[in-house]
Amino acid sequence: MDLDARVDGKAPPGSRAFRKNSIAPDRREPAFATIAFGADDAATLWVNGEPVATEIGWGHARCFCVLLRPHLNVFAVNATNNGNVNNAAGFLFTAIITYMDGTMSSLVSDTTWRGQSNVPGGFHGLSYDDSSWMPVKSTGEYATDAIAIAGRDDLSFAPARWIWTGELNDGRAPPGARAFRLTVNLPPKHTLASATILVTADDYYSFYVNGRFVGSGIQYMAAQRFEVDDIQGPRIVFALYALPPEIRHFPVYKDAQSPMIGSLMRAGRPTLGMLLHMDLSSQFSTIRIGHMQQ
């Protein structure tokens, strides 16, 4: 959608303000919204006066999870069309609102939004009066117009890389177990998270989140997928204990403080590395992690 797109689908350069006041239907109480948005060429999103994120470029849209107020929620966007002459412009927004009773509804960018050709100070605030703003114009449907904005990616190993310690020699590592850690700090005021995780190692591993045992694997050709909820932030530690296949006894722990609760046995060839990809989603935003660093 856009505010002043011409018949040929082009609009003047500059920034435009957009707002959507969403009132919960049927006395349902909103819990959170899962949001994806993007713009040609850039946009900043606020929800209830709080900044969520800025997207630059129209080729990809990230996904965010934002807590909502019980009744009225205000979505505000400052979208910018770059360039020196009229050119293609647009803002795209889609959200799934989840209510306290478990039901859901959708909220999308359409002509029910209001727009302003300049960007007034404080326009993203809850108490801002947008009653004099004009309705926006539709510039086309997603996947049919000239602006192609991707949605959220399915979790895969595509952006990840095999890693190991600095001891590798021609792809081979000395015998022995190795430990890996990744610390993620959530953005300010973000304290709770959930994560979808794909992980494998050559060959055995046990995986932990904040010291809690999540799962294990015994063969690098078969990755495991874990869904981890109620991760306490704002500092989150992912840890992996990996063993090469020539180690015959693989210990398994319930958590970081507990004694070993069992072991796995197998023999094999030297280790190659470990591979991890995560989509870590707090109740406020999504942090996308390409791969763990050594």
Q: Give one DSSP letter per residue of 79-117, joined into a string.
A: EEE-SSS-EE-EEEEEEEEEETTS-EEEEE-STTSEEES
* CATH number of the domain where residue 224 is located: 2.60.120.260
Region for residue 144 given its phi and psi (left: phi exceeds 0; alpha: psi -120 to 50; beta: otherwise): alpha
Residue 279 lies in a domain: yes
Say yes or no: 112 and 211 in one domain.
Answer: no
Say yes or no: 101 and 205 in one domain.
Answer: no
pLDDT at res. 268: 33
Q: If the chain, 294 residues long, is cut into consecutive pieces of 10 residues, what is the mean pLDDT of each piece? A: 55 87 90 84 92 80 82 94 75 87 87 92 94 86 49 57 80 82 76 78 88 87 81 88 62 47 35 47 31 29
Residue 169 lies in a domain: no
Say yes or no: 198 and 131 in one domain.
Answer: no
Say yes or no: 127 and 183 in one domain.
Answer: no
Residue 191 lies in a domain: yes
pLDDT at res. 198: 84
pLDDT at res. 156: 62
Residue 205 lies in a domain: yes
Give the Å distances, CA to CA, from 274 to 184, 185, 271. 19, 22, 9
Say yes or no: 27 and 125 in one domain.
Answer: yes
Of 115, 135, 155, which closes a domain?
A: 135
Say yes or no: 22 and 126 in one domain.
Answer: yes
Residue 195 lies in a domain: yes
Residue 44 lies in a domain: yes
The count of structural domains within the chain is 2
Whole-angstrom distance, CA of residue 128 vs CA of residue 132:
11
| pTM greater than the 0.95 cutoff | no
Question: Could you tell me the residue range of the domain that residue 120 belongs to?
Answer: 10-135
Residue 232 lies in a domain: yes
Residue 152 lies in a domain: no
The amino acid occupying position 112 is T
Say yes or no: 208 and 120 in one domain.
Answer: no
Region for residue 260 given its phi and psi (left: phi exceeds 0; alpha: psi -120 to 50; beta: otherwise): beta
Say yes or no: 20 and 95 in one domain.
Answer: yes
Whole-angstrom distance, CA of residue 24 vs CA of residue 242:
49
